[in-house]
Structure 1
Amino acid sequence: MPRLVDSDARRRDILETAVAILAESGLQGLSFRAIAQRLGGSSTLVTHYYRSRRDMLVDLTSYTIEKGKAQLSVSEHDVDDPLARLHTLLLWLVPDDPQSLREEHARLNLMQARDSEPEIAHFFEEWEREVRQLLRSHLEPLVPAAEIDSVTDFLRTVTNGLCLGAVEHPDKWTPERQEAVVARAIDGLRSVVS
């Protein structure tokens, strides 16, 4: 009798494994064979779901955004105060655990191929669009409309800097230190909060 396979779970496994490989070896280490070996199968385990690496990278974009939004939704579930919701969002944007640090490392490794592979450029464009949209929606109840763009730029710069710092120096940019910077950024907003 054929074994039943949960297609969504298998895709998640493939994409999570791809992220782990990207974090460790960059794009040059990412192959269907490498993914399949880690999952304990042959390359057909991956090719059954993805015809090409390009297709997988396109799916990785959607998966990363949807997974992130689901995690954020859980974190914000009982948070009603707009400033507390912004604080939750900013903490969600920084790598404060081993999994999110691995994901940031994978993203930085993808940067090397951003200009040579359109799917990777698409990944970064979509991620940035989504993050900025989230920032704007969280800022709308707090900041005058004329200030939203500049505050979004400021907060995006802070979170990007924390991400890079945590990947470069994980021992120095502990979750506590990242949280302190996020708290300082929010304190700095108090002058423009309506």
Structure 2
Amino acid sequence: MPKIVDHDERRAQIVDATMRVVEQVGLEGTTIRAIAREAGCSTGVLAHYFKNKADILVTAHLAAFSAVRDRIAEHQADTDDAVALMRLALEEACPLDRPRLLEAGIDVSFWGLALHDEHLKEVRRRSHIDAIDFWESLVAGVVEQGRALPGASARAVAVETVLLIDGLSVNAVLFPDVMDAERQLAVIDEHLRSFVARG
């Protein structure tokens, strides 16, 4: 009797293996062969999940974004305070520890690879737009609760938030001794003060 394969579970295992390989050798050095070895399967099996190297890069990129969203969703389920949620979400999105630094490293590497690849550029463009929409919904919560400064634009703050996260990510990946967790948290505090009313 043929073995029944749970493809969703298998794909999740392969994504996990991909992230481990990326952590070891970086996005540029990640290959189908290395992922197969880490996942304990053949390159032939991986061919069912990845068509080429670009598929691997996109999978790692989307997995990193998904991990951040999943953590923020857990906070959303635990608090009704829009400002507290905004702070927690920012902390989840910024590279404050090793796992989050890996996620940031994937994104920073992805930008470089997308520079001369139209497919990767389009994937990153969609992620950028989705991120702005996501953060706008969080900022809108602050506005709706009457916690924002007068005239604060949810869309404008969302764009600033995405740019802030991107900037912190680049600096923390390249200069971790300068842009450490303490400095990132100070930047997050300043960002919140720029649109959240005191008290």
Say yes or no: TM over 0.5: yes
Which residue is 2:164 aligned to?
Answer: 158
Which residue is 2:133 aligned to?
Answer: 133
TM-score (normalizing by structure 2) = 0.79
Q: Is the 8 A contact 1:22 1:30 kept in 2?
A: yes
Alignment of 1:13-28 (within 5 A): 13-28=13-28
1:184 partnered with 2:186: no
Q: Is the 8 A contact 2:22 2:30 kept in 1?
A: yes
Residue segments in structure 1 that go unaligned for 5+ positions in a row: none
Q: Secondary structure at the match of 1:17?
A: helix
Q: CA deviation at 1:133?
A: 0.9
Alignment of 1:75-154 (within 5 A): 75-141=75-141, 142=143, 143=148, 147-154=153-160
Q: Is the 8 A contact 2:72 2:92 kept in 1?
A: yes
Moved more, 164-173 or 29-38: 164-173
Amino acid in the other structure paired with 2:87: H
Question: Matches of 2:100 and 2:8 in 1, distance apart?
Answer: 21
Which residue is 1:172 aligned to?
Answer: 178
Q: Percent identity?
A: 24
Q: Cα RMSD between the aligned structures?
A: 2.7
Q: CA deviation at 1:189?
A: 1.6
- Whose RCO is larger (CA < 8 A, sep 6+)? 1
Q: Secondary structure at the match of 1:86?
A: helix
Number of residue-to-residue matches in the alignment: 192
1:26-67 Cα deviation digits (max 9, x unpaired): 454232112112223321231132333344445455544444
Question: Matches of 2:12 and 2:164 in 1, distance apart?
Answer: 30
C-alpha distance 58-28 of structure 1, shift in aligned 2 (>3 A): closer
Q: Secondary structure at the match of 1:116?
A: coil
Moved more, 137-146 or 69-78: 137-146
Q: Is the 8 A contact 1:50 1:56 kept in 2?
A: yes
Q: CA deviation at 1:80?
A: 0.7
Residue segments in structure 2 that go unaligned for 5+ positions in a row: none
Q: Secondary structure at the match of 2:116?
A: coil
Question: Matches of 2:69 and 2:154 in 1, distance apart?
Answer: 21
